[in-house]
Amino acid sequence: MSKQLKISTGHCSDKGVKPLNQDFHGAVVPKEPQLSLKGVALALADGISSSDVSQIASETAVKSFLEDFYSTSDAWTVRRSGERVLESINGWLFSQTQRSEHRFNKDKGYVCTLSALVFKAQIAHLFHIGDSRIYRLRGGGIEQLTKDHRVWKSKNESYLSRALGVTLNLELDYQQQPLKEGDIYLLCTDGVYEFSEAQELLDTLDQHSADLDKAAQVIVERALENGSSDNLTLQIARVDQLPQVASSLQQQVEQLALPPLLQARDQFDGYRILREMHANSRSRVYLAEDLESKTQVVLKTPSVDLSGDPAYLESFLMEEWVARRINSAHVMKAGLQSRERNYLYTVMEYIEGQTLAQWLRDHPSPDLESSRNIIEQIGKGLLAMHRKEILHQDLRPENIMIDSSGTVKIIDFGAVRVAGIVEAENTLAQPEWQGTAMYMAPEYFVGEVISNRSDLYSLATIAYHLLSGRFPYGTGMAKAKSAAAQHRLKYCSVLDDERELPVWLDETLRKALQPSPYKRYSELSEFLYDLRHPNPAYLSKTRPPLLERNPLLFWKSLSFGLAATTAGLLAYIHTYL
């Protein structure tokens, strides 16, 4: 049995000498699979004493963070999930103040500090704004991890420089800390940390290590005895066990048997096999009927020859995992899963149509509008994937389907990179080469950082190929194994004398196909817009010379001209000499 993340927690909150407790705190320790995919979350908020509604802000901030964080996509990183949720909370608090009679006095509005901590895999993720604090106890010492957002006007007078709900734009601190077993993290308000000594904290936590609630209570009571004049809230989180590398997909690989070789009319796990659609050394694909819903689906089984390769089997299951988390008309969907499976296989929607590769064989010279329509639909599917922090990494005509209604869909997620899963470090290592060389972004060949711009390059390559039948750098890009070699390559214009294409379109493709990802479009949506709308920066560009547009035709024309000149000279010599 794989080791799971185990966090022990304790807490205590007291209004102290004040009539109302404006602090709020909470913690969520979920069960699997969310424990591995999202982690353990704690949050603490401290209201400002000058506001009569600040306790509402504190409670709303903590409850909303802990609820909404676990509602975000499993594919998202902790940082993206946390920041998106906190931006939403901040916007709501700010709008509540703007609707109240205190809209011109932020000190009376829906304002609070917030410190949140998420333990995922072997990393602690810290979110912080205000003057509540997060400490770490390790090796007999204590360290403050957060920075107080407070400005001191004098020794006795200060004010918060940042807090939730103060402005519409949220300025949040985020950091990551590696975890060690035995680490203790403290989240506390100023009513606790300003009246507690470090050694007292260490002694109390050592004395009450078996009961963290009791430890928190003792620390709060001692802070009161030491003269605390504010609300007091303390949360304790101790790392008892760090997880081993084990995901839900790996568990399926370990628990499910490989399916047998299937034939037409076989009944298998609630499906009737209709026919085999495709087979290769890695998998077999069947058209099947779900006997319960009576719908046709595509059933894919792994190769028996690769049964001893857990990394391959996990990547095989990842396709369906991804498809279930993306809702787009331009991305292949997973089949309905209404019953328990007894074998290792995937079920996807059946798309009646043809691949873009086959479509290109049937339409070898597509017009500009048809090409744009296809690229825009692929782009919409990619945008849906990127919003979930998922990179496709193997975009090519063979992995694009066009159905009978003309809808274009991205298929085959065997090479995807899911940021949230990579962050959790709970997948097995994948091969370095994921895609097809002619469509892969240059950064794959030199080991540079992979990003959304890598998928953009692949999409632009498909667009270039649709419009010209060629590739922007020929076979040179796949052969260039260093950044210097890549930068020496010369982009070949998509324009030629066979098709009437606008010059600004060539400039759009040139930018999207830059070898350096930082010189490409920063957003996929910008590229898609420029494909249809002339970018003013490109309208002054002139048609490239023939040598750049069509080198082969240039040299043929030059050779013909030289041959004609030579023939003329020989004729002249023969006639007059």
165, 107 Cβ separation under 8 angstroms: no
Q: What pLDDT does 411 receive? A: 92
Instruction: Indicate if 137 and 265 belong to the same structural domain.
Output: no
Give the total number of structural domains in the chain: 4
Instruction: Indicate if 100 and 150 belong to the same structural domain.
Output: yes
215-232 burial: b if 16+ Cβ within 10 Å, else e? bbbbbbebbbeeebebbb
Is residue 143 assigned to a domain?
yes
Give the confidence band of 151 by pLDDT, cuts at 50, 70, 90: confident
Would you say residue 321 has pLDDT above 80?
yes
Instruction: Indicate if 393 and 522 belong to the same structural domain.
Output: yes
200/408: higher pLDDT:
408
Give the confidence band of 428 by pLDDT, cuts at 50, 70, 90: very low
Among 147-156, 400-409, 507-516, 547-556, which is the least confidently predicted range?
547-556
Tell me the mean pLDDT in the region 392-416. Answer: 93
160, 150 Cβ separation under 8 angstroms: yes
String of DSSP letters for 12-42: EEE-TTSSS--EEEEEE-PPTTHHHHT-EEE
**Highest mean pLDDT, choosing among 189-193, 243-247, 545-549:** 189-193
- The strand pairing partners of 391, in sequence order, are 417
What range defines the domain where residue 380 resides?
354-544
419/426: higher pLDDT:
419
Tell me the mean pLDDT in the region 314-321. Answer: 87
CATH number of the domain residue 391 falls in:
1.10.510.10
Of 291, 321, 349, the last residue of a domain is 349
Would you say residue 497 has pLDDT above 80?
no
Q: What pLDDT does 429 receive? A: 42
Is residue 1 assigned to a domain?
no
Q: What is the pLDDT of residues 361-399, one digit of tens each?
A: 999 999 999 999 999 999 999 999 999 999 999 999 999
Instruction: Indicate if 213 and 258 belong to the same structural domain.
Output: no
Instruction: Indicate if 510 and 568 belong to the same structural domain.
Output: no
Q: How many residues does the chain have?
A: 577
Is residue 506 assigned to a domain?
yes
Instruction: Indicate if 328 and 457 belong to the same structural domain.
Output: no
Would you say residue 423 has pLDDT above 90?
no
Tell me the mean pLDDT in the region 407-417. Answer: 91
CATH number of the domain residue 289 falls in:
3.30.200.20
Residue-averaged pLDDT of the chain: 88
Is residue 455 assigned to a domain?
yes
Q: What pLDDT does 85 receive? A: 97
Instruction: Indicate if 503 and 560 belong to the same structural domain.
Output: no
Is residue 497 assigned to a domain?
yes
Of 303, 333, 349, the last residue of a domain is 349
Q: What pLDDT does 328 receive? A: 94
Tell me the mean pLDDT in the region 386-413. Answer: 94
Is residue 26 assigned to a domain?
yes
Q: What pLDDT does 256 receive? A: 85
Would you say residue 338 has pLDDT above 80?
no
Among 52-66, 239-253, 285-299, 324-338, which is the least confidently predicted range?
239-253
Instruction: Indicate if 312 and 232 belong to the same structural domain.
Output: no
497/564: higher pLDDT:
564
Give the confidence band of 434 by pLDDT, cuts at 50, 70, 90: low
Instruction: Indicate if 286 and 207 belong to the same structural domain.
Output: no
CATH number of the domain residue 169 falls in:
3.60.40.10
Of 178, 207, 241, the last residue of a domain is 241
Q: What is the pLDDT of residues 6-33, one digit of tens each?
A: 999 999 999 999 999 999 999 999 998 8
Query: Residue 18 corresponds to which tokens in the numbers above?
Result: 């004040």
Instruction: Indicate if 498 and 403 belong to the same structural domain.
Output: yes
Among 109-113, 175-179, 315-319, which is the least confidently predicted range?
315-319
Instruction: Indicate if 285 and 235 belong to the same structural domain.
Output: no
Would you say residue 553 has pLDDT above 80?
no
Instruction: Indicate if 400 and 524 belong to the same structural domain.
Output: yes
The H or E element spanning position 301 is strand 296-302
Q: What pLDDT does 543 receive? A: 58
51, 110 Cβ separation under 8 angstroms: yes
Would you say residue 546 has pLDDT above 70?
no
